Amino acid sequence: MKVHREGLSIIFTTAGILLLINYLLFSCVWCPVFSLIFAVFSVVFFLIVVNFFRCPKRVFADLGTGVIVSPADGRVVVVEEVEEDEYFHDRRIQVSIFMSLLNAHVNWIPCAGRVVYYSYRAGRYQAAYLPKSSSENERSTVVIERPDGEKVLVRQIAGAMAKRIVTYVENGDECSINEQLGFIKFGSRVDLFLPLDAKIDVRLHDEVRGNRTVIAHL
């Protein structure tokens, strides 16, 4: 299993802290049972942290120009027509994917094109599955203009436990499917805003996989 570079410092820090605590506990022989229990807990906790920062290798083969691929692993929590008021200022179809602590938190580019808008905004850390998290939480917004002129907005949103959003693209960058958009540390969500005539291929509560599940066709 490959570990994402965004998690290396956290993994090494966690390992160091756990090793130190376990060393101190085993040095104090007053409670060997507690020391053993904590050692087991340490191993389980460390494996959970490593699993969170896993970086699955996936290649999406069908690169048709009309395909919008899921930018994240998780569960679809929103499929509805909304008013998008940051960039488009008109009606769009919003598809939102909630990532739990058990999901890989790598984010992928949903379609090929050129980045025409990038914005980062600080904000709150409410539960990412709440509708208002899209506009009130810490977030990073990227708009990709496809070769046919259609634009797709993808927004990374911090959740209650997420404290850092990483986005790898900037204005003017050329991007394509199979490239990473960024990473969100701990529970979070990704929103897609698509044209009203998009054919949506997922339903509410569907489980999707980043860079694997087709979200829509334009």
Q: Say whether 100 is catalytic.
A: no
Which single residue is written with the structure tokens 């990532």?
99
Find the catalytic residue in 42, 70, 134, 188: 188
What is the DSSP-derived secondary structure letter of residue 71? S
Half-sphere exposure of 128 (CA within 13 A, CB side): 29
Determine contact, residues 42/18, Cβ cutoff 8 Å.
yes
96 to each of 28, 48, 54, 132, 197, how far by Cα in Å? 50, 25, 22, 12, 17
Say whether 94 sits in a helix, a strand or coil: strand
Q: Give 24's contacts (C-beta < 8 A, 6+ positions apart).
A: none
Residue 195 one-letter amino acid: P
Determine contact, residues 194/68, Cβ cutoff 8 Å.
yes
Report the first-to-last Cα separation within the chain, whole angstroms.
Answer: 34
Element (H, E) at 18: helix 8-27
Catalytic (active-site) positions: 188
